[in-house]
Chain A
């Protein structure tokens, strides 16, 4: 066990391991690229949907049940399914990651919108604001903390799951996990797992710190 940890430490810090196109630096960049792009696409789809459902109050059933559907959907199965349908392309990775990210964003955006005090909304309408002014100048800013929480949760889930890109022959930090499993090289498998875990934890801490700094003046609300 001690030997294993020593080798793992050596693997993580060796300069050789960090350099080149299959080095940790490059794999880390790939991993972040998949994760950020997938989260952005998911946000572009999920934010308008969540805002619309929250603003109109229609389709609330969808917003509430989407998150439990998202939780139940096995990502591994989804990736393989899209892979078999589309062949060797980036589609399986992005479709699976986007599908994973959408529920948290829609549900939290909707939750943020319903948490807006109805009297504030009425007051805005009473002042003669149009629907888009109410939405963008009143509801959206008030719902922002919970919307941010949704984006953060989505990004963390996506970073954790982007590991499977390597399963369908792409890069990212999952490369080490799957190559290591294939080569029975436990040090490499553990190295990959530790790196993914560290990236996820660090991103989560950084984003929650950013969130606290941005919304310092707001009373704390839990998701």
Chain B
């Protein structure tokens, strides 16, 4: 199995387009996942009876195979980018919800009591005390969700989308390994770079964790 290097240099434009479309699908899904999971996580954290229900439901959703989710969405949104994004969002949602709830749980009760004693209102406590302290655990979830979404986009090639995944179908149909190898390598690289960027973002966002370590 040899790599046809001239194919790569001939198709740099296509590869750029596919990479960008791949990244767009994955990032949209993670952002949507965050928007939906944050309020759900706050509810699951505060209202005990709902907690088991929400987490259990999201665990069941996670068990459903990704190809099945995309296919089951076909009657709703057809062979479109929307189907890809909704399917991916469902997956990221599960990881983000679980980690955000765990992050909120990890905030010490004393800290919350101190905020209350100082007269801070509940919403303000949530935004300025609880969420920042939960950030390391939430960010761990964001990293997992992002890497997973980047890898899963290619499954959507079966429903005619899939970003870099299209290279897999292309190589398969023409019995030509080069696009497949390029697709796998680019997907891994995207995941690696995205993960590294998120680690950097977390480092910048949580200066207090650094100070503690150096002291």
Interface residues of A (CB under 8 A from B): 1, 4, 68-69, 71-78, 80-81, 83-85, 156, 159-161, 163-164, 167, 174, 177-178, 181, 186, 189-190, 192-194, 196-197, 200-201, 204
Check A200/B75 contact, CB under 8 A, given A71-B144, A74-B168, A76-B168.
no
Check if B65 sits within 8 Å of A161, measured CB to CB. yes
B92 within 8 A of A: no
B residues in contact with A200, CB < 8 Å? 63-65
Check if A156 sits within 8 Å of B63, measured CB to CB. yes
Check if B65 sits within 8 Å of A196, measured CB to CB. yes
Q: How far is the CA of A159 from the CA of B64 in the complex (A)?
A: 10
Check if B180 sits within 8 Å of A71, measured CB to CB. no
Contact of A204 among B63, B164, B177, B181 (CB under 8 A): B63
The segment out of B8-16, B120-128, B146-154 that lies at the interface is B146-154
Q: Does more than half of chain A's interface fall in helix, strand or loop, or is it mixed?
A: helix
Query: Quick one: closest B residue to A201, CB to CB?
Result: B63
Q: How far is the CA of A204 from the CA of B64 in the complex (A)?
A: 10
> B157-195 toward A: CB 8 Å interface, digit per residue (1/0)?
111000011011101100111001101100110011001
Q: How far is the CA of A71 from the CA of B63 in the complex (A)?
A: 15
Query: Quick one: closest A residue to B156, CB to CB?
Result: A76
Contact of A194 among B72, B150, B159, B195 (CB under 8 A): B72
> B67-104 toward A: CB 8 Å interface, digit per residue (1/0)?
11101101100000000000000000000000000000
B204 within 8 A of A: no
B residues in contact with A174, CB < 8 Å? 67
Check if A73 sits within 8 Å of B151, measured CB to CB. yes
Check A85/B63 contact, CB under 8 A, given A4-B75, A73-B184, A77-B183.
no
B residues in contact with A68, CB < 8 Å? 143-144, 147, 195
Contact of A193 among B67, B176, B187 (CB under 8 A): B67
Q: How far is the CA of A73 from the CA of B144 in the complex (A)?
A: 13
B58 within 8 A of A: no
